[in-house]
Chains A and B, each alone.
Chain A
């Protein structure tokens, strides 16, 4: 099983970024001095489109190289070996041209599981996601909600220490959203650190302990979720929390 992911020596958390900067043609896309994810169970990152939310989590997950600054996974530079422990659900998750169960088995085998263990763990993962009935259906034939749950089940099957989620419920109906939120809650309960990019303020309130508000590449406010919504500090946060459109 994935015992070695739990050993202290190979731990990937806390995940932190220091002086991160990404610019494209003179425009600042990301400018974050210091960010650490380690303590809180669920952190929500809010902000308008183009605020740099996705870029921040992709940078921390090791998918995007910053122009300047460093990303650290428990003090070391991100390495491929650690990707299993630093999980990420992409905004448009890629499901392979195989059955639903084969998608999960593939990921588990890639992470070093033997065939037998991978099959057992994959069935367990689909079970928990409520997807057992469609285990043998081609992943490409699933509905939008099922696809997202499968991608989530696949990410969780790898037992990440930290999981970055890029708008996981952006185009889902309320029922599918609820299923995803339940999966997020269950993962957080067993100690997975969740970093959730979302446009849904109600979702941030429901799920998170901490909120970051990003605007034009920078983190302009960070705080406990209750404080953020009740007593926002910056004018932008006040406007955002009041439901106004931030430009």
Chain B
């Protein structure tokens, strides 16, 4: 086993050289997790907004369930998607197991509850402020949803960010449905797990550093956007 100092040194050399293998792994990680955020946003934002403005029997139960699902263990999501996509599963004929698409499906399932639950809270607060004015404008339920989502756009970015953070950092779901196949489904987290087990700490550390840097960069970007928006007082 290498010493930690050697491992760090090797890690920085790897990052500096940014070789093709490393690039492919980082690129696939971003591709999978960003796609998952887009899918989860398309489902989660309207769902959260709908739950925020509507009142029907069973609504509270759904809100509680979605909030509880925020803490869904990734391995359980991975297992469920695995069962669905395996040859004997309901979606077996699609032959998606061990593909990046399967990883996107798993991560989308994982973070949709996070985005929906955070969006519901944001939109519900906004609706308290807006609902009488929207009634005066004669908005339909659909128009209310669109208006509230647009008015809350800067706060909702935080929800998307939380979803992205969860997706890019998780290992349990993608390793089950992706299989950690070199050059096909190997992402940063699964590589870190594998290389650590193999004792190749340099690559694992290098990827770890890149992973944390990406998280910081994405957070900074969103904060910068929010800051600009707040200075213009649109937020």
Contact = CB atoms under 8 A, between A and B. Distances in A.
Contacts of B197: none
A62 to B, nearest CB: 8
B68 interface: no
A97 interface: yes
Interface string A106-139: 1100110000000000000000000000000010
Interface in B72-107: none
B234 A94 contact: no
Q: How big is the B interface, by class? A: 10 to 19
A70 B132 CA distance: 20
Nearest to B153: A97
Contacts of B129: 94
A110 B137 contact: yes
Contact of B137 (A83, A93, A98): A83
Contacts of A87: 136
A87 B137 CA distance: 9
Given A138-B234, A141-B233, A90 B135 contact: no
Contact of A88 (B136, B147, B234, B235): B136
A44 B133 CA distance: 22
Given A61-B136, A107-B137, A110-B138, A96 B151 contact: yes
Given A94-B129, A94-B130, A97-B151, A63 B135 contact: yes
B129, B136, B232 interface centre (most CB from chain A within 10 Å): B136
Given A81-B138, A84-B138, A110-B139, A98 B234 contact: yes
Contact of B132 (A63, A84, A107, A141): A63
A58 B132 CA distance: 10
A83 B234 contact: no
A140 interface: yes
Nearest to A96: B151
Interface string B105-136: 00000000000000000000000011011011
Interface in B38-90: none
Nearest to B139: A110
A80 interface: yes
A140 B233 contact: yes
Interface in A27-65: 58, 61-63
B235 A93 contact: no
Nearest to A112: B138
Contact of A63 (B130, B136, B147, B235): B136
Contacts of A98: 234
A97 B137 contact: no
A88 B135 CA distance: 11
Given A96-B151, A138-B233, A90 B139 contact: no
B130, B132, B143 interface centre (most CB from chain A within 10 Å): B132
Contacts of A107: 137
A80 B138 contact: yes
B133 A94 contact: yes
Nearest to B229: A97
Interface in A63-86: 63, 80-81, 83-84
A88, A94, A98, A140 interface centre (most CB from chain B within 10 Å): A94
Interface of B: 129-130, 132-133, 135-140, 143, 147, 151, 232-235
21 contacts: A58-B132, A63-B132, A63-B135, A63-B136, A81-B138, A83-B137, A83-B138, A87-B136, A88-B136, A90-B133, A94-B133, A96-B151, A97-B233, A97-B235, A98-B234, A110-B137, A110-B138, A111-B137, A138-B232, A140-B233, A141-B233
